[in-house]
Each structure stands twice: as C-alpha cells, then as structure tokens.
Amino acid sequence: MKVIFEKPKSLEDVTFHYCPGCTHGIIHRLIAEVIDELEIQEKTIGVAPVGCAVLAYDYFDVDMHEAAHGRAPAVATGIKRVHPKNVVFAYQGDGDLASIGMAEVVHAAARGEKITIIFVNNAIYGMTGGQMAPTTLVGQVTNTSPTGRDVEHSGYPIRVSEMLGSLVGPGNSMKRVSVHDPKHIGQAKKAIKEAFINQIEGKGFSLVEVLSTCPTNWGKTPVEALKWLEEKMLPYYPLGDFSPKEGV
Amino acid sequence: MQKVIFNEEKCKGCELCTTVCPKKIVYMDEKKINSKGFHPATVTQQEECISCGFCAMMCPDVVIEVRRPSKEGKKDE
C-alpha cells in the first residue's frame, strides 16, 4: 500500500480548536506540507497572530513566536534580521493584518523584508464574535453591520494583495488563492511553496492571501460557507498574482 | 482492504469531505457518535474508493489518511 495522504510531520498530532468546517485547518496543513517538502522544519520559525489562529504555536512542530495584535510582520522582520539563514513566516488573519496591523505589513513589504506572510482573509472578525472587518464585503451582514456593510458609513473593502502589489520591489511576491475545492487547494499549496522559495532564495517579501470561510460568524453551514465564498468573495477578490512588475 | 482511514475521534462533522468525493461514498455515520458529540464521516464501501485523496485534501482537521494499493506484480512500497 502506498500512502497517498497522511498528516504532515510538521503538524502536531493534536485536535485544532477551530470550529467545524473552518478552513484554517486546511491552510495550517498546507503550510506544514510545504515545510515538509522543502525539508526546512529544523530551520523554520513561525510567528503566530492574535485572532482565531492565536494558538497556532500549539499546532506547528517548528519554533514559534507570538506577536502582539497585528505586529507579526515587525516581529518576523526582527527574527529574520537576527537569523538570516532561518526561514521565517507569519500567519495572520484579516482583522490582524488588514486592520490594526496594516502599517506593519505595508512597511515590511516596502522594505522588501525577506519574510513570508500567510494572510487568511475570511471577511470578518472571527475570534471576537463576528464584527465587521476592513475586508467585509459591501452589503455583508455582521454583528456590527446588521443591515449589511454600508459604503456611505464604512467605505469599501480593502484588497490587500493589490495594494501591496503596487509597492515597488522586484523580489516581492503577492498572490491571492482560495481553498474552496480540491483544485484550488492544490493551487494554494503551490503558491505557499513558491512564497517560501522566494524567501529562501533571498528575493524579497512574499505574501499569500488565502480566501477562507467563517461558518460560525457567517451563520452558515460549512458547505454553504464554501459556496458563499465562491459566489460572493471571488468576484470582489479575484485570484491571481499581484506581484509588482519590475521597473514600475 | 482499508484504502481510506478516518480518525473518527477527531472528526467535527463538518461534512466537507462528503461534497468532494467523486464516487459519493463518504457519508456521515448517524449510527455512531464520537466523544465531541458529532456523527463522524466514514466510508464503508472501501472497494469503491479510487484513492484520489480529495476527501483528505478538503478535511480541515486532518482526520483522513488515504492509501493506494500497489499494482499487482509490483512489490509493496
């Protein structure tokens, strides 16, 4: 019997605390698979965020560091500059990266820090109970926008990959992927792998934005949530490569 | 022959694996209940499984392990 699929060894053998059907688990697994495939478990250092993934340090079998809310790119910058031979990644949600931590990620990208950021965008604040995030879609109902996000009051959702892609930096890489079906999960893994390779080759900053679900706070079943992601989020957050073009 | 193995105790009953199976053989076992209180996903028609691994790719909780039998005449890997 040939093993087609099993738990990656960079992932601890524990049960995640995430809600049933939460795609954080898929993204954790993809990162662990990439770490295994690149054989960098011994030299990888992860930075955990504040948010649902705050306990990520319990799940990855690599060295982990916890950062204050939104400050993971700054912490990762420090670790990478002190240990340039190690592979440093930060794992952040949209409330963490796109709201309170926006300054850190923009400047880390502008400086071309050789770190990798996995940005999980589920268009809502998950851990705090479903408030509107900067990435919440127009018209989307959350606890703090009970009649739907109103552009007059709250403006438009931020497209982080496009915004960071406008920063000059030839080695920078920004990609948006999704995990709503096996085909896209394969593409997401490829993008995460390329982001790690970008860092290992010393090219520059790399960010992978992964569209994710929050069945609990969206008020949907896990299966409905994936469908909603595909129908509502993909039109506003198109998948693709938004890396800055050389010479711009 | 067990081609697809579910760690039923870890299953949270989200049903995502049941939606991606091309053979439609993954189902929620309503006769069983795990210690978390969920009906775990399972496969009983193991001979129907084509070892594509889609259920395992989709599973957010790393519940599923997939194996493919070696071809006849070939040594076990």
Domain segments of chain B: what residues? 4-66
Residue A175 distance to chain B (closest CA, Å): 21
Q: Which residues of A fall within a CB distance of 8 Å from B1?
A: 1
Residue range A24-128+158-241 in CATH 3.40.50.970? yes
For chain A, what are the domain ranges? Answer: 24-128+158-241
- Measured between alpha carbons, how far is A15 from A123 in angstroms, rounded to an integer? 25
What pLDDT, in 10s, does the model give residues A154-195? 999 999 999 999 887 778 999 999 999 999 999 999 999 999
- Put simply, whether A24 touches B (Cβ < 8 Å) is yes
CB within 8 Å of chain B, chain A residues 158-187: 181-182, 185-186
**Prediction pTM value:** 0.94
The 3 state secondary structure assigned to B12-42 is CCCCHHHHHCCCCCCEECCCCCCCCCCCCEE
- Identity of the residue in B54, B64, B67 whose CB atom sits nearest the CB atom of A1: B67
What pLDDT, in 10s, does the model give residues A194-205? 999 999 999 999
CA B2 to chain centre: 10
Q: How far is CA A134 from CA A144, A156, A170, A218, in A?
A: 12, 8, 28, 15
What is the model's pLDDT at position A246?
Answer: 67
Q: What is the CATH number of domain B4-66?
A: 3.30.70.20
Residue A195 distance to chain B (closest CA, Å): 20
- Identity of the residue in B19, B56, B70 whose CB atom sits nearest the CB atom of A223: B19
Interface ipTM: 0.91
